[in-house]
Structures are given as structure tokens and as C-alpha cells.
């Protein structure tokens, strides 16, 4: 499976009572599908996977699979704290029609998550999975930053096809690229370092920013692939502040607010995540306007 290109990690849509609003989520998919995206990630970190029940996860997988066009890849987030539960959710994603799974490493018992434990976990999931597996390294959320040696060892499994790295350590990413099998695919986990990641061998990105600025994310990727580094650099520079606002600075509720602002459905996040305050909304809108992100237009 070729993962080259840009994937938005879809936020999970809730109504004002925090119940699933699957029709809104599917509407977002339809609107975003007008862009040349490679596919969509469902129930990643921005999808609030950890805030959903098992039944809700299954409902989201099934509804979004119907909404995602057949020519676009559906990635499903299935990382849980136990190997057993991860395999269970991975099989559920497969039954729903997902094309591959993205598996965040277990981290609650991080002191016990040795290279041996993590490799054993990923190998067991990959052995049991009917779908290709993508490793997900997200230290800001998991509190555990898997090192290069661990990822290289995990990458040896034939059913593990790549990784999404949201840590932003380009040196480590380059080291991994140099040591893994040629067909192992690396995806940038943030638009803030998309261009640097491409320059050391990443083949695309799973980017929160692609939910509100798909055109710009795709442009960075395509300009780089076409050899126009200057154009890619110019767009990359413009997107850094916007990306930070909806990720490391204010997170999921800011991303949802930005989606509302441009004509998609954002809505609320599930508590304990709180909506951003009015003064933050004002700052967010200013950042979006300064970078010409006012509506979802091709």
C-alpha cells in the first residue's frame, strides 16, 4: 500500500450534548474529498479515540467508511493500552472496511515499555491484523517517545508498512529512514515540519492542518515532489503559525473552532476537554485571517 501524500486526521464530531454527530463528520469528509488528498485518518489523536466507547468506535468506523470515496485510503486508529484490546479494535476496523490501521504505542505503564515489550506488542498486533499496520509515535500525548532502535526493530515485521512520527525530531527521523527497509514509509505527523520531513525521506504526512488548509498542505507536498523547493518553503513558512495554533498551542478544541470558522463542522470536544475561551477564539481567527484561511476553497 502506497501512502504517499496528505491525510487529514479527522476530528470526531459531537453535538452540543457530546453525542456522536456522524452525519456532520461524514459531511466534512464529503467537503474535504474535493481536494487531492490521499485519504483520511479516522480516530487518531484529533479524533478523540480515547474518549469513545467500543460501540461508538465501531459506529464511527462504519459511517466514515461509507463516506470516504473508494479511491481514497481509510486509515483507522486502533491503538489501545493492552495488546489484546488493540487486536480487538484492529479487527473491528478491518470488518468496517478500513485499509490500514495506525497504532499508537501503549504508554500507561511507560516504565515497563522496554524495546522488548513494545516490539512484542507491535509484532503480536501485526501477526493478528488482516490489515497493514502503521506505527504511531506521539510523545506529546503518550508521554513516551520511542527511540530509533525500537522503531527500526519493529519495522522488520512484514505487515508493518510505515510510521507516523509526531515528535518532530528530524535527526531521529532521518536515522530511522537510513536504517529501515526501503519500502518502510515515513509520514510526518505535523504540518509544522512537513517540508523538513520530506527532505529526509518522508513520503507525506498525516496533518491536523489538512482539515482546514488542505490546499496548502498538498501544495507543500507537490511543490517539493516537483523539485520547486522555493515554493514549498514559502508555503511551509506561512503555515507554521497556523499549525501551532491548532496543535501544540491550543489543541483539538482550537482545530474544531477553526473548522467551524471556515464552513466545516467542528463542534465541541468531549469533556474533560474544554472549549477555548473567547479571547483565544479571537486570536485564532486573527491567525487564520493573516494566513488567508477564511473558507474551504479550492
Active site residues: 164
Using the structure block, give the residue that is written with the C-alpha cell 526493530: 153
CA pair distance 111, 72, nearest whole angstrom: 38
Task: Give me the phi and psi of 73, to 5 degrees please.
Answer: -80, 135
Using the structure block, give the residue that is written with the C-alpha cell 464529503: 30
Long-range contacts of 107-114 (CB under 8 A, 24+ apart): 107/81, 107/142, 107/143, 107/144, 108/81, 110/142, 110/143, 110/144, 113/144
Q: Is 257 helix (H, G, I), strand (E, B) or coil?
A: helix
Contact 78, 100 (CB under 8 A): no
Residue 274: how many other CB atoms lie within 10 Å: 9
Tell me the DSSP string of 119-172. HHHHHHHHHH-SS-EEEEE-HHHHS----HHHHHHHTTSTTEEEEEE-S--HHH
CA pair distance 264, 252, nearest whole angstrom: 15
Tell me the DSSP string of 162-227. EEEE-S--HHHHHHHHHHS-TT-EEEES-GGGHHHHHHTT--EEE-GGGGT-HHHHHHHHHHHHTT
Cis peptide bond upstream of 289, omega within 30: no
Amino acid at each position: 500500500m502506497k501512502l504517499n501524500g496528505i491525510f487529514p486526521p479527522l476530528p470526531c464530531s459531537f453535538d452540543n450534548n457530546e453525542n456522536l454527530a456522524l452525519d456532520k463528520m461524514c459531511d466534512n469528509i464529503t467537503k474535504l474529498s474535493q481536494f487531492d488528498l490521499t485519504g483520511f485518518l479516522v480516530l487518531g489523536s484529533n479524533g478523540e479515540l480515547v474518549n469513545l466507547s467500543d460501540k461508538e468506535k465501531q459506529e464511527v468506523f462504519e459511517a466514515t467508511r461509507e463516506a470516504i470515496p473508494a479511491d481514497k485510503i481509510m486509515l483507522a486508529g486502533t491503538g489501545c493500552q493492552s495488546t489484546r484490546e488493540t487486536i480487538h479494535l484492529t479487527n473491528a476496523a478491518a470488518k468496517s472496511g478500513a485499509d490500514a490501521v495506525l497504532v499508537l504505542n501503549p504508554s500507561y505503564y511507560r516504565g515497563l515499555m522496554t524495546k522488548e515489550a513494545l516490539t512484542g506488542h507491535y509484532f503480536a498486533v501485526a501477526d493478528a491484523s488482516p490489515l497493514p499496520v502503521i506505527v504511531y509515535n506521539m510523545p506529546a500525548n503518550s508521554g513516551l517517545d520511542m527511540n530509533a532502535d525500537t522503531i527500526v526493530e519493529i519495522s522488520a515485521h512484514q505487515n508493518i508498512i510505515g510510521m507516523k512520527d509526531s515528535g518532530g525530531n528530524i535527526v531521529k527521523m532521518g536515522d530511522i529512514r537510513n536504517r529501515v527497509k526501503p519500502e518502510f514509509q515515513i509520514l510526518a505527523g505535523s504540518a509544522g515540519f512537513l517540508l523538513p520531513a520530506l527532505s529526509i525521506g518522508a513520503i507525506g504526512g498525516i496533518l491536523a492542518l489538512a482539515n482546514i488548509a488542505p490546499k496548502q498542505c498538498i501544495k507543500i507536498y507537490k511543490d517539493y515532489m516537483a523539485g520547486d523547493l522555493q515554493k514549498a518553503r514559502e508555503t511551509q513558512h506561512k503555515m507554521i503559525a497556523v499549525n501551532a495554533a491548532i496543535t501544540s498551542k491550543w489543541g483539538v478544541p482550537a482545530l474544531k473552532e477553526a473548522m467551524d470558522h471556515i464552513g466545516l463542522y467542528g463542534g465541541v470536544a468531549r469533556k474533560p476537554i474544554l472549549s477555548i475561551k473567547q479571547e483565544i477564539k479571537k486570536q485564532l481567527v486573527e491567525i487564520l485571517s493573516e494566513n488567508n484561511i477564511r473558507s474551504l476553497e479550492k
